[in-house]
Amino acid sequence: MYVLFEEDGAFKTGHILSEADAALQVESSSGKRSKIKRSNCLYTFANPAPEALLTQAEALSQDIDLQFLWECAPQEEFDVEGLGADYFGHAPSALEKTTLLLRLHSAPVYFHRRGRGRYKPAPPEILAAALAALEKKQRQAALTQEWSDQMVAGALPAEVSELAVNLITRPDKNSQAWKALDAACATTRQTPERLLLSLGAWPHALALHKGRFLATHFPRGTHFNDVALTVVGQDLPLAEVQAYSVDDITTTEIDDALSVSTLPDGNMRVGIHIAAPGLAVTRDSDLDALARARMSTVYMPGEKIPMQPDAVIEAFSLDAGRPVPALSLYVTANPLTGEILGHESRLERVVVRENLRHNLLDEAFTEEALADTTQVLPYNDWIRPLWQLALALAKQREQVRGKPENNNRVEYSFYVDGDPNDPNTPVRILPRRRNAPLDRLVAEYMILANSTWGGLLASCGLPGIYRSQQMGRVRMSTQALPHEAIGVPQYAWCTSPLRRYVDLVNQWQLIAAIEHGVSAPLVAPFKPRDADLFAIIGGFEAQYVAWNDFQNNMERFWCLRWLQQQQITTCTATVLKEDLIRLNNAPLVARLAGLPQLGRGQQIELHITGADELALELEARYVSLLDAVVESEDIADERETNQAATTELEATEAPVATLATLKPQSSNTSAAVHPPLV
């Protein structure tokens, strides 16, 4: 005797070996023996053979018309055997019962299950709605399959094209477009990005990279809503200084300028003048909301997305020839020892005499030229005393650090000579030494300002946003703690308020400290232990990393384009570790498959075969080993260079690539305005 039973939601058959009141011992056609509950049994039968029953019944059940069966079935609950007698006109055989059972079980739209072998027909109105929904689902499935087939065949459906960006940034995995794309990707064995790019959803990989970034971080566009800007600072006193700013030729947001004078006693008085948008962009204002939403200016070769609206930049950028509100730090120092004898902070208006540019002056302001006191340099009375004191300040910091800074690394400036959205636009990548005198000079005074103003906030009992490093741990906090890598007792970003939100927040606190002194905690925008400061720190760090990653990706893209435009097929590279290499003629790090086991710093020759602009990967093969070996300090690891060589080149806006912040398979680039988070 055989039995039909239900197990784990499926119908099965078996040969009965033994029976008890509550259970049966059965053997399947495969020889497997199992114990089943009697309550799971539907009925027993003698023929056909158990392995044939379900196969034959499944085939016969497809001939039963569901609509006719629904019309024939009683309106109340029924069992299969009773319906079988009415449907077949006689007591149904085991095969007929099983055929009817399988058909009823396969049609939950028509028949609702009420127990094992028992069903009830769906009410007419519910059946009509269910059939309509089923028909819609079938049409959608057919359309989804049609879209998928089109993509596999090399055509992009318009409906999928319209959602291309969302499909790779915020896909709705229940949508038809995603299901079609997912199926096409499975068939073609491609990622969604690569398949959509190959189908023309974007004209090129550059458009994909930018579109994905903008859709993720700027879904409403990069423009600013119209916000009224109140003119402020017109009644501030006018500083009697000869100030100059130093930036890259592409800079439009001039945050800082320097002035210097020699005092009768031989000491120097240096003025560090910082743009003061904090006078107009106040906490919780509409302008504050705009800046806080972005946290920092976004830089990429050839373009940028500013943190502040143009009206704020135009009003507070330290452009030459006009009085502009500024927050000034005047430091009196011994130029020989670098000892700070006193300092004073003021709110005033400053007229910058000229906006100097690295590109035009780096060749003139070399260390050799500055060391030759008989040589008259451009802006001689300004550059020489500032350089002398900068060297003394750097020496003091080195004594605190216990070792010299690694400033011998090469940086690169990117210049896109045309439309930055066209990958065929010519790109120039120009090397610069990080220890160029103008870079070091500006960096030294920015460090001085950030350290001094951080100390001023602490002395007034005001919270600020600091960066510290102790025992190798780098973090942001509201406490004035030492920064061992830079060699200062405290370090607060204060010198880029037009381009970085943390600096703007600290400027609000500094304005309160300057105007109210020790009573500043009573009136400052942020009081001690203000929870919003911690929220700003968390938001800034996350946003800053996202901006920096995008900048690195864009610089990596343009590196690959530069190699193509220059038709470079052979070049040398430095081994960083294992299969990780760095090109010697561009700021590009890549993994090289098939690289022999070589030592760190060894030089190799490569043959460049191509580039994957979507994955931002260089395609090359190893040619030979060269004799030269780069000194270890020139390829210092990421932690060492971040700690030792981060000199906060905040006064330079140009996207400058540095060999300090590289990650495996990512461009070794970092804009000077976006120094590593140390």
Instruction: Give the relative orientation of helices 531-565 and 286-294 as an angle to the nearest 10 degrees.
Output: 50
Find residue 38's DSSP bridge partners: none
8 Å CB contact between 568 and 605:
no
| Residue-wise pLDDT tens digits, 286-321 | 999 999 999 999 999 999 999 999 999 999 999 999
Domain boundary among 544, 572, 598: 544
Helix, strand, coil share (%) of the chain residues, nearest 5? 40, 25, 35
Write down the pLDDT at residue 635.
52
Q: Is position 210 within any domain? A: no
80-84 long-range CB contacts below 8 Å, 24 or more apart?
80/104, 80/117, 80/118, 80/119, 81/43, 81/117, 83/119
- Residue 276 sits in the same domain as residue 368: yes
Contacts of 28 (CB under 8 A, 6+ apart): 12, 13, 14, 15, 34, 50
pLDDT of residue 8: 83
Please compute the mean of the pLDDT values over residues 459-469 and round it to a whole number: 93
Report the distance separating Cα 43 and Cα 86, nearest Å.
Answer: 19
Q: What is the pLDDT of residue 318?
A: 96
- The answer as to whether 128 is a domain residue is no
Q: Answer yes or no: do 100 and 169 share one domain.
A: no
User: How much of the chain exceeds pLDDT 90, in percent?
Assistant: 72
Q: Per the domain annotation, does 389 fall within a domain?
A: yes
Please check whether residues 388 and 466 belong to one and the same domain.
yes
Q: Which residue has the tokens 């094209």?
A: 161
Mean pLDDT along residues 603-616: 94
User: Is 219 contained in some domain?
Assistant: no
Residues 303 and 444 in one domain: yes
Rounded distance between C-alpha atoms, residue 280 and residue 413, angstroms: 33
Residue 672 binned pLDDT confidence (cut-offs 50, 70, 90): very low
Mean model confidence pLDDT for the chain: 88
Q: Are residues 550 and 540 in the same domain?
A: no
Domain boundary among the residues 502, 517, 544 is at: 544
Residue 301 placed within a domain: yes
How confident is the model over 463-480, as a mean pLDDT? 90
Q: How many CB atoms lie within 10 A of CB 231?
A: 9
Say yes or no: 195 and 314 in one domain.
Answer: no
Instruction: Please indicate, yes or no, whether residues 33 and 161 belong to a single structural domain of this protein.
Output: no
Determine contact, residues 1/16, Cβ cutoff 8 Å.
Answer: yes
At which residue do the structure tokens 């629904």 appear? 70
154 in the same domain as 94: no
Question: Are 17 and 160 within one domain?
Answer: no
Q: Is residue 390 part of a domain?
A: yes
Q: Are residues 534 and 556 in the same domain?
A: no
pTM recorded for the entire structure? 0.79
Query: Does residue 678 have a pLDDT over 70?
Result: no
> Is residue 58 situated within a structural domain?
yes
Q: In this structure, how many other beta carbons lie within 10 angstroms of the beta carbon of residue 10?
A: 9
Between CA 240 and CA 245, with CA 242 as vertex, the angle to 5 degrees is 130
Q: Look at the chain and count its residues.
A: 678
- In the predicted structure, residue 408 carries a pLDDT above the cut 80: no
Q: Could you say which of 544, 561, 588 is where a domain stops? A: 544
**Integer Cα distance of 257 and 350 in angstroms:** 9
How far apart are alpha carbons 64 and 66 in whole angstroms?
Answer: 6
Residue with tokens 């319209």: 162
Residue 58 is predicted with a pLDDT of: 93
The alpha carbon of residue 248 and the mean position of all alpha carbons in its chain are separated, in whole angstroms, by 26
The pLDDT of 501-508, averaged and rounded, is: 97
HSE (side-chain half, CA atoms, 13 Å) at 228: 1
Percent of the chain exceeding pLDDT 70 equals 92
Record the tokens describing residue 453, joined without a space. 């103003």
**Number of folded domains in the chain?**
4
402 falls in which pLDDT band (50, 70, 90)?
confident
Q: CATH code at 58?
A: 2.30.30.360
Residue 664 falls within a domain, yes or no?
Answer: no
Range of the domain at 147: 140-201
Three-state helix/strand/coil letters over 71-100: HHCCCCCEEHHHHHHHHHCCCCCHHHHHHH
Query: What integer pLDDT is reported at residue 525 of this predicted model?
Result: 95
Residue 212 in this model has a pLDDT that exceeds 60 = yes
**Whether residues 651 and 515 fall in one domain:** no
Write out the E strands in 448-591. Answer: 466-470, 473-477, 570-577, 580-583, 589-591
Residues 258 and 388 in one domain: yes
